[in-house]
Chains A and B, each alone.
Chain A
Amino acid sequence: MRLLAMLGLILLALFLQITVLNEIMLLGVKPDLLLMLVVFYAFLRGPREGGFLGFTAGLMADLAIGRYIGLNALSYLAVGCLVGLLESKLYKESSIIIVVLTGAASFLGQLVYYSLLAYSGIYVSPMTALSVMLSSSVYTALLVPLFYKKFHRSSTRGWLSGRET
């Protein structure tokens, strides 16, 4: 049940990412809802499940784009695993912690993505890349308080709290 719910959330986030998020771009960037989901899940469930979900979400995004399949999968996998490592080390109820964590994770994910772009032969100037990483990370982190409480509640008592099927 939990996996199905997460799958639904990933699809919803991907749909929003492709469509309406373009209307709320700030400084030319849009927030990364998929990454936010991966960070939340990994932070509450640990590196194994976080990494798995990150890879799945990234792969779905890659399939939606249809090119360079694996770029998002690998960067979200890294985010899921690294955030998951902090699962038992940080206080889960604090919004501040998750905001900072999401910002850092987003930056890290974009950094991995940028490295993979270079690996794929796509050159983006470092300064431009840095500005995209920073603005995207800040924007994504700022949206965290809107969603984290609900996600946390659902993970402890709601749909996302069930046993793995």
Chain B
Amino acid sequence: MARPVNYKRAVLLAFLIFITLAVVKATVSQGWQLSPLGSAARDITGPLQGVAMKVGQGVRGVFSFSLGLVKMSRQNQEYRKRIEELEGSLRIYQEYALENQRLVALQNFKSATANPLGFDTMTAAVVGRDPGNWFGTITINRGTLDGVAVNMTVITPAGLVGRIISVAKNTSEVLLITDPRSGVGALLQQTRAPGLLQGTVSTRGRLQMVHISSDIKVEEEQVVVTSGTGSLFLGGIPVGSVSKSGREPAGLFNSAEITPYVDFSRLEEVLVVRGTRQAEGDALSIVLPPWGQGRIPSGSPGSIRAGEEGAPAGQGDGIVEEPQGRNRSPATGAKKPGQGSSGNVIPQNQGPPAPANQDSGQPAAPGGSGGQGVPVTPDTGGRQTNPTHPENLPAEPGQGTIVPGTAG
């Protein structure tokens, strides 16, 4: 059945179409010219369009920013991870660089100082320390397999560190000179006055030099070197400088507090002196002081233990042939009869290690061994003997203060 036509709607639709056509007709422009109606419409809607555009851009910005944030966050994480990796690598490289610097310094020292003095040295790394605050021992990563033996001297470019007291296959234990059980025969460099260096407590980083003859004036900043006289330690190794001087409680001898050159809390690499050979003839002209200012190192480290019988009096007095122009002071030469000679070499690792408190053959050991209380003539010998810290010395070998041939 046909649906009845709604005339009202049809008329309304026709009217709407007619109006629209009329508007179309009215807004048709000539060429690109806006009609008045189109112009009015644009003027009205223009600002609205602007607002709408800005809102749209804002909304798009919010969406893109959020999406960007997620992306940036991911990138940020990756970058951070990368930065951490790179920083880790950088730290490792810095560590290598520092280690390299230290090893180069050790190598320079070996070629410029240790070799001319006749030291056969070997580099070792410190791998452990005594856990307490009282004793001063370190463990190094060299043992019998590397030729290390008990009583070998341990040094750094700055000076004396200590000596080997026990050896395993791959590690060794070093008794630092600051350990209260340690004793080292030593000399005041300028006056050649002998004395005995005793450790106090390792962590204090100080040494006590005792049994210095009372007629010797001990002044601050004087350099102390190992005497090498009948000692387990090689001679001529700088130990430290005098920081305080005084009289022993008994009043018979002078004593001094020594600040060691070596920073024992920062030891990382050391040199083990495996043996010695004849020093080069002009060693003292190229070695930087205070190295070699005691005696020319001789014999074998650890060859003589405290209390051992040495050569008969008058034989092998331990004074090796010294280079031309080199003076030996009465103090360093003073040895009691029968005292051992560093020239009489005993194979290094024979016999047990020395007992505690007898580390050195101490020229000035209690009870009066060689050199103790002997009037000593200061050894100037034409040499300049200004105390000089090894760290402050010029880097080039041969710039030392000793002029060949001027001594004696």
Residues of A whose CB lies within 8 Å of any CB of B are 14, 17-19, 21-22, 25, 28-30, 32, 34, 61, 64-67, 72, 110, 113-114, 117, 121-125, 128-129, 131-132, 136
Contacts and interface: CB of A to CB of B under 8 A. Distances in A.
Given A65-B135, A132-B133, A123 B180 contact: yes
B203 interface: yes
A157 to B, nearest CB: 31
B131 A17 contact: yes
A17 B129 CA distance: 8
Q: Is the interface of B mostly helix, strand, loop or mixed?
A: loop
Contacts of B134: 113-114, 117, 124, 132
Contacts of A17: 131-132
Contacts, number: 66
B210 to A, nearest CB: 11
Interface string B310-330: 000000000000000000000
A131 B128 contact: no
Contact of B203 (A14, A25, A121, A122): A25
B156 interface: no
B357 interface: yes
A71 B378 CA distance: 45
A122 B204 contact: no
B349 to A, nearest CB: 19
Contacts of A122: 180-181, 356-357
Interface residues of B, number: 21
A22 B204 contact: no
Contact of B201 (A14, A19, A121, A132): A132
Contacts of B130: 18, 65
Interface of B: 128-135, 137, 166, 173, 180-181, 200-201, 203-205, 265, 356-357
List the 7 closest pairs (A to B, CB-CB), nearest first. Answer: A17-B131, A28-B203, A29-B133, A124-B180, A18-B131, A128-B200, A29-B203
Contacts of B132: 17, 32, 61, 65, 72, 113
A156 B201 CA distance: 40
Nearest to A125: B200
B263 to A, nearest CB: 11
